[in-house]
Structure 1
Amino acid sequence: MKDFLQQVYLDNTLQSYLVVAVIIFLGFLFKRFIAHYIASFFAFLIKSRYKSIDPSIFKSLIAKPLGLFIAVLITLVALDRLTFPSVLDFKVYKIGIKELLRMIGTTLLIVTFFRFLIKSMDFVVLLIKNRYMQNGDQGNHQLVFFFKDFIKVVIGLIGGLLVLKYTFNYDVKGLVTGLSIVGAAIALALKESLENLIASFIIFFDKPFQMGDAVKVNNFSGVVEKIGLRSTRIRTDAKTYITVPNKQMVDSVLDNLSNRTQRRADLRLEIGVDTLPAKVDELLDGIRKILARPEIQNFNLFLTDITTNALVIVGDYYTEPKNIAKYNQVKQEVNLAVLQLMETIGVDAAGKSTSITITKRAE
């Protein structure tokens, strides 16, 4: 039996062929289990960091491409134990069969590895998406998917360059330099679009506003309905639909009205300059009682100026920020109450018209 296994065929013993065949068979047989346990280990590590992630999703995305990579790697390592038969060492289109098989093996190894990396990106994007959805950031999905596709393209380009380098022995330095020059030319041609794209990344990470926020920018105010890669769409207070380039949304002074803690209302009264101090004091006390209502969180009220034409009373008060209808209702009730108070205590507004009638004396 030992002599039989030591028989040489095509520059290799039967024993060598048998060992390689068993290794390859076991590799393909157990690649699923090996990939499963490796994926389970990484899933356990991820689960300890991200409690809300289902490990089965990670396994379903990673196990299959990882198993294929492991099978290709085991096959190539096993075949490398064999001596290439000299009788098969002929050329096809100036390329030897041995070199051709090496090129195929290298390509398969690189392709399966980078396919595994690309599938891993799907899970990374899933982690990012779940994190932002938990934080209530519902408007950035398109940027998440853009990042996924963009990084996949980058990974694919790197894989292609490695195939050229290690399979075809191509000097990729010149190719990378050429691509850089072409990329610079494209960047100059698409300067404005790239600025808006970069601004969308700033919005995504810095979060000066989100979908659903009420904002004021460039003399327009409204609600953000969509944040795109190039522009932001706003439904204005006049119910029109405007498109603002993301660069302007980042560079302009933007007032995020949804993030204010209170809504302010101003009160300004100009009463007659001949009003008695006691009446002024009574008016101030009455206004303070009017402003001391549950809807108003805090207020300020002062007699600020005494001019030749009027006594100026200035105040401000603050309500909760979100309900605009309730805010306007409070303003109306306060203004009406102040007018009724002025009428009750007999305080007139400055510049009140006086009718003068001139009659001619009869002779």
Structure 2
Amino acid sequence: MEIPVSDISFVYAAATVVFGILFALIARFVVNWLSTKAGETETKWDDIIIAAIGTPVQVAIVVIALYLAISQFGILPPGLQWILDPRYVTAFYIVIGAWILSSFLHDIIVIYGHDLADQSEGDWDDRLVELLELVVKYVVWFAALMVILSIFEVNITPFLAGAGIAGLAVALAAQDIISNFFGGAIITIDKPFKIGDRIKVDQYYGDVISIGPRSTRLKTLDYQIVTIPNNRITTNVIVNYAEPDQKLRIIIPVSVAYGSDPKRIKEILLEIARDTIKNTEYLLQDPAPKAFFSEFQDSGLKFILYVWARKYNLPDEVKDTINTQIAERFAAEGIEIPFPQMEVRLKK
């Protein structure tokens, strides 16, 4: 019995597809084995490369086998001969290449980007990494699409012009958002402060509780949340009370009546400062406290006591403790604390 040529061609085509599938399964086994071995090494580059090429190569093997089957054995109906156009083959290779490149860049960003993001406080840099993942994917696939369209002699100038106009429109509409976004990036890179620091930006003063892609939030001493756009932070002077360390110099002005002994006043102020250092945990011994006779005022003599608090959030406690002792000591030693007064003389 003679087998028709068309049947033999179909058998050969089917065998080609089957062998292609088997070869793809073997490739999958090899990729899994290589992936296991790569996981045992210290470097991550082999993991990234194997993960990027694994699935695209398997798909390419099956599709190439299918293409060989329908192109070499003449089983394709006349109405579908356009599939054999070499341009489609080239487009397929471009798709596979874009797939591999996109996966490769995506895995690099995921592995190394998140590692860097984990080293900083806050979660907005993780969101930045996720945004970068999407941008890379879209850029690679958009470029692949443009190349494929040019292969098929499609005029891509309108697409590029439209993309440029759309990008310009989006940039203008999102100018503030983009400005805040880059401001957040500058804050993350420059690190003028971190979460938990007490800072002053413009007229705002408080503790940093979050650093986001668009804004930074402070909790004021009144327990109010202030949201400041990042572009405003990067264009203003920032005072960080937690850097380079957490100690804070506190200035305590003291006035006494004329006739008081300046030397004795300074001795009392330093004694009070030393007692506070000894009996509380508010003040530092080094730098040492200092007292100065600063000026003659209208109603008395002005002195200034300088002390150093252990932490920037203790000024109220320090002032309360020291001022209370000053009032008690002055009262005990008969030192008068002046108050503003005016003498009026009537001329007859």
TM-score by length of 2: 0.73
Q: Which residue of 176, 183, 193 corresponds with 2:160?
A: 176
**Pair 1:303–1:316, CA change in 2 (3 A):** closer
Give SS of 1:296's match: coil
Please tell me whether the aligned partners of residues 72 and 109 of structure 1 are also in contact (alpha carbons under 8 angstroms). Answer: no
Match of 1:67 in 2: 54
**Pair 1:118–1:219, CA change in 2 (3 A):** same
Measure how far apart 1:239 and its partner are: 3.4
Counterpart amino acid of 1:318?
W
Please tell me whether the aligned partners of residues 217 and 254 of structure 1 are also in contact (alpha carbons under 8 angstroms). Answer: yes
Q: Which residue of 79, 82, 86 corresponds with 1:96?
A: 82
Match of 1:358 in 2: none
Please tell me whether the aligned partners of residues 107 and 163 of structure 1 are also in contact (alpha carbons under 8 angstroms). Answer: yes
Match of 1:346 in 2: 334
Measure how far apart 1:26 and its partner are: 4.6
User: What does the per-residue CA deviation read over 1:309-348, in whole Å, with 9 as the maximum and x for residues that have no partner?
Assistant: 43322122222226x3x55333322222222232333332
| Structure 1 residue 301 corresponds to structure 2 residue 290 | yes
Match of 1:151 in 2: 136
Q: Which residue of 92, 101, 110 corresponds with 1:125?
A: 110
Measure how far apart 1:199 and its partner are: 2.1
Please tell me whether the aligned partners of residues 69 and 109 of structure 1 are also in contact (alpha carbons under 8 angstroms). Answer: no
**Pair 1:321–1:182, CA change in 2 (3 A):** same
Please tell me whether the aligned partners of residues 241 and 248 of structure 2 are also in contact (alpha carbons under 8 angstroms). Answer: no
Please tell me whether the aligned partners of residues 215 and 222 of structure 1 are also in contact (alpha carbons under 8 angstroms). Answer: yes
Q: Which range moves more in the overlay, 273-282 or 331-340?
A: 273-282
Match of 2:310 in 1: 320
- CA distance in 1 between counterparts of 2:153 and 2:340 reads 95
| Structure 1 residue 36 corresponds to structure 2 residue 19 | no
Match of 2:215 in 1: 231
Counterpart amino acid of 2:306?
D
Alignment length (residue pairs): 332
Measure how far apart 1:28 and its partner are: 0.8
Structural RMSD (CA): 4.3
Match of 2:238 in 1: 254
Q: Which range moves more in the overlay, 177-186 or 77-86?
A: 77-86
Measure how far apart 1:86 and its partner are: 7.3
| Structure 1 residue 333 corresponds to structure 2 residue 318 | no
- CA distance in 2 between counterparts of 1:261 and 1:49 reads 40
Please tell me whether the aligned partners of residues 255 and 338 of structure 2 are also in contact (alpha carbons under 8 angstroms). Answer: yes
| Structure 1 residue 263 corresponds to structure 2 residue 248 | yes
Please tell me whether the aligned partners of residues 121 and 195 of structure 2 are also in contact (alpha carbons under 8 angstroms). Answer: no
Give SS of 1:161's match: helix
- Structure 1 unaligned blocks of 5 or more: 1-8, 355-363
User: What does the per-residue CA deviation read over 1:194-237, in whole Å, with 9 as the maximum and x for residues that have no partner?
Assistant: 22232233233333344444433231223444444333344443
User: What does the per-residue CA deviation read over 1:155-195, in whole Å, with 9 as the maximum and x for residues that have no partner?
Assistant: 332232233244x3445455334422332233223322322
